[in-house]
Amino acid sequence: MTAIEYLAGRGIADITGEPAGAGMLGYGKSWQRSDGIQLRLRSRAFVIVHPASGRRVLLVVNDLPMIFDSIHRAVLRRLSERYGDLYTEHNTMITATHTHSGPGGYSHHRLYHSNTGGFRPKTFAAIVDGITEAAGLAHDDLAPATLTLAHGELRDASANRSKVAFDNNPAAERALFPDGIDPRTTLLRMERGGEPVAAINWFGVHNTSMTNANTLISGDNKGYAAYHWERLVTGVEYTDRRPGDFVAAFAQTNAGDLTPNLDLRPGHGPTADEVENTRLIGLRQYEAAAALMTCPGRTVTGGIDHRLTHVDLGTLVVRPEFSGDGREHRTGNPVGGAAALAGSHEDGPAFGGFQEGRNPFWDGLSKLVYTCAPRLRDVQAPKGMVVGGRALDLLGPYVARRGPIQLLRIGPLYLIGIPAEVTVVAGLRLRRTVAAIVGADPADVLVAGYSNGYLHYVTTPEEYDTQQYEGGSTLFGRWTLPGLQQVAAGLATAMREGVPAPYGDPEPDLSHRQREARPRIPPDVPPPGHQFGDVLVEPRRRYRPGDLVTAAFAAAYPNNDLRRNGTYLEVLRRDRARWRRVADDGDWSTTFRWRRDRTGQVAVVTWTVPVDAPAGEYRIRCHGQALRPYSGTSQVFRIETEGGHHGAAGQTAAPGRTAGR
């Protein structure tokens, strides 16, 4: 009898935060505040156990802008309460897809509250509850499984948004990426009895197909890729989850300088429609991953291992063997450059008066400072310094200075957990550093960016010198990447030698120092002459595939009840004597948008009729909570398919669920 190589389990849960009035995280724009849902956010968790050694890892991929130490610490505390020392910061990797269309307010550092009004406990709780739930489901799902690893390429889903910086790297490194992108797509699939039960895909591209004009919560292109595979291909029921549901996660790698906007303009490429671009870039990631699902791949064998250390990037001494110039250097206190305030013009400009590259005023001022402070010059030059230093912390910690650096091994696969956005060539250097020490194929070593915390960008020193957006956002200076290579080398050596890694000093717990947001929330008031749930605008009587169905309801403040693992809306189809749910607010074909005006509070629900929707009778329901729960139901309308389909390219119907009478 063959020994069991691995036990594996998977789980998925809702982590959607406040859909109304919460500043959205990523672009940092004051006007980008949530007012509804395009696609619910999910946490996808995977536990892998090596029975022979007893070692295990927990990987959690989240449809979130970032993972902050606030979330990392809270989830680990909850897991410890439930499972003791089974899941710790050493063997648990919590990572984000980096959507820029999720509500913020869940960090413990002030910078990320710039458009949220402060800390938002409801969004924080939804995220922590959902991640913990997904991890628990994965733990409970543990069963014998076969793991398979496969690599491929995807070349039409990303573009380098910082080519000036990329081209400043040595020719030998540039030659490995002739298009300026990292086309590698990697799939780890889980099978039981020859049937796939889960998949984790790693591919580097910013999750920014949706622009800073969007105010609907969305998992963006990676969220769509997972949704397409789970819901449209395998029929997963998000609101009526069943044991055995397929789970697909689309995780990040070194995406720091890679944009999905192929025309190098926000919301442009492959088309001029940001919503369609989100679907297409997500679909391309899904198709590349699905192709790897069917190829033979390599059966994963070997042990599981993990190492973690905490590093203070403000005080790291970089040894000569890692600096590249044979001299010792240091990182320093975080400083944002003028280029950082310019933003990435390919994904979303930030503040006027700043630009990528040369900023004569700030460059000139910084040169004067550098003349008087040679040690600061060695750390930060040629950055045109604008904001930074310890003065920013006078009102409370502004950004994190310390972060966990992690190395996980699953057989031949090594994941370098970096709490930052790593560029393509910076990722190459980190991967080569680890691969050379552990004796792995560099293709099997991945940078898992956006993991366990957030310390902004990591560029190569050569990229840093050009001071594009990414270099201006490399807060701890020119030697950040060599310092991280040094740390990663220490973890790889400890893993190879079978010894512990130094723990280091973690970021302080700031949970007791938070100023909660105080949003102005007037009492719930329906439009005059109506009650919550009343239909204000009825759908038409007849539609065809491709048409947009719209209904409006008197609706209370949706933040009263986030309806986690539930929905604010349902599209129902009559099936004999019953009504069967065919879509909800977790589906791509719907939107839920809420507003308050002088006449009252309204929710507008839309549904794009899929091209393959069957003819028949339908209706729309809206749910919410004021003083008590309520629901409203539209009039019945018909979908008529005679005369062919039109419109709504790419939309397909989701499987139906019985929803009662």
- Cα angle for residues 657, 659, 661 (degrees, 5° grid): 140
Q: What region, left, alpha or beta, does residue 242 occupy, with left being phi > 0 and alpha being psi -120 to 50 degrees?
A: beta
**319-323, 490-494, 521-525, 643-647: range with lowest mean pLDDT:** 643-647
H or E segment to which residue 197 belongs: strand 195-203
pLDDT tier, 3 (very low <50, low <70, confident <90, very high otherwise)? low
Does residue 262 contact residue 159 with C-beta atoms inside 8 Å?
A: yes
Q: Is the pLDDT of residue 647 over 60?
A: no
Q: What is the pLDDT of residue 656?
A: 65
Asked if residue 337 has pLDDT above 50, the reply is yes
CA distance 87 to 92: 6
Confidence (pLDDT) at 396: 81
Q: What is the dihedral of CA 608, 611, 612, 616, to 10 degrees?
A: 60
67 touches 284 (CB < 8 A): no
pLDDT digits (tens, 9 = 90+) for 254-274: 999 999 999 999 999 999 999
Taking residue 498's Cβ as centre, other Cβ atoms within 10 Å add up to 7
Does the domain at 535-658 match CATH 3.30.2350.10? Answer given as: no
Helix axis angle for 274-294 and 220-227, nearest 10°, is 50
Cis peptide before 382 (omega within 30 of 0): yes
Is the per-residue pLDDT at 330 higher than 90? yes
Task: Find out whether 419 and 403 touch, Cβ atoms under 8 Å.
Answer: yes
Work out the burial of residue 55: count CB atoms within 10 Å of its CB; fewer than 13 is exposed, 13-18 middle, 19 or more buried.
Answer: middle
DSSP, residue by residue, 55-117: EEEEEEEESSS---HHHHHHHHHHHHHHHTTSS-TTTEEEEE---SSEE----SSGGGGTTTS
> CB–CB of 286/237 below 8 Å?
no
Q: Which residues, 6+ apart, have CB-to-CB distance to 483 below 8 Å?
A: 311, 313, 316, 318, 322, 331, 476
| Confidence (pLDDT) at 657 | 57
Q: Give residue-wise pLDDT tens across range 102-159.
A: 999 999 999 999 899 899 999 999 999 999 999 999 999 999 999 999 999 999 999 9
Decide if pLDDT at 658 tops 60: no
* Six token digits for residue 508: 């302080």
Q: List Cβ neighbours of 562 (8 Å cut-off, separation of 6 or more).
A: 16, 17, 18, 19, 122, 126
- Token look-up 């303009």 returns 265
Tokens of 282: 């997500």
Question: Are 93 and 58 contacting, i.e. CB atoms less than 8 angstroms apart?
Answer: yes
Provide the pLDDT for residue 244. 82
Can you give the length of the chain in residues?
A: 661
State which H helix or E strand residue 424 sits in.
helix 424-438
How many whole angstroms separate alpha carbon 187 and alpha carbon 334?
35
**Could you tell me the two tokens for 484?**
């991280």
pLDDT at 9: 98
Cα separation, 258 vs 450, whole angstroms: 14
What is the Cα–Cα distance from 381 to 358, expressed in whole angstroms? 13
pLDDT for residue 5 is more than 60: yes
The CA-based angle 282-411-290, given to 5 degrees, is 25
Q: Span 229-252, mean pLDDT? A: 93
525 compared with 637, residue with greater pLDDT: 637
Average pLDDT over residues 481-500: 98
Sketch the domain layout of the chain as residue ranges. 6-310+399-497, 535-658
pTM of the model: 0.96
Instruction: Please state which of the ranges 260-264, 347-351, 602-606, 643-647 shows the lowest mean pLDDT.
Output: 643-647
Strands 184-192 and 195-203 turn out to be: antiparallel
Calculate what percentage of the chain has a pLDDT beyond 70.
97
Give the pLDDT score at 648: 47
Six token digits for residue 445: 């070593």
Annotate 201-240 with b (16+ C-beta within 10 A) or e (fewer). Answer: bbbbbbbbbbbbebbbbbbbbbbbbbbbbbbbeeebbbbe
Identify the pLDDT of residue 661: 36
| pLDDT one-digit tens code per residue, 160-171 | 999 999 999 999
Structure tokens at 270: 């492959």
Question: Which whole number is the average pLDDT over 164-183?
Answer: 98
User: Which amino acid makes up residue 202?
Assistant: W
Encode pLDDT of 66-79 as tens digits. Answer: 999 999 999 999 99
Scanning the structure block, which residue is given the tokens 């309520």?
630
Residue 644's region, left for phi above 0, alpha for psi from -120 to 50, else beta, is: left
User: Do residues 495 and 305 touch, judged by C-beta distance below 8 A?
Assistant: yes
The mean pLDDT of the chain is: 95
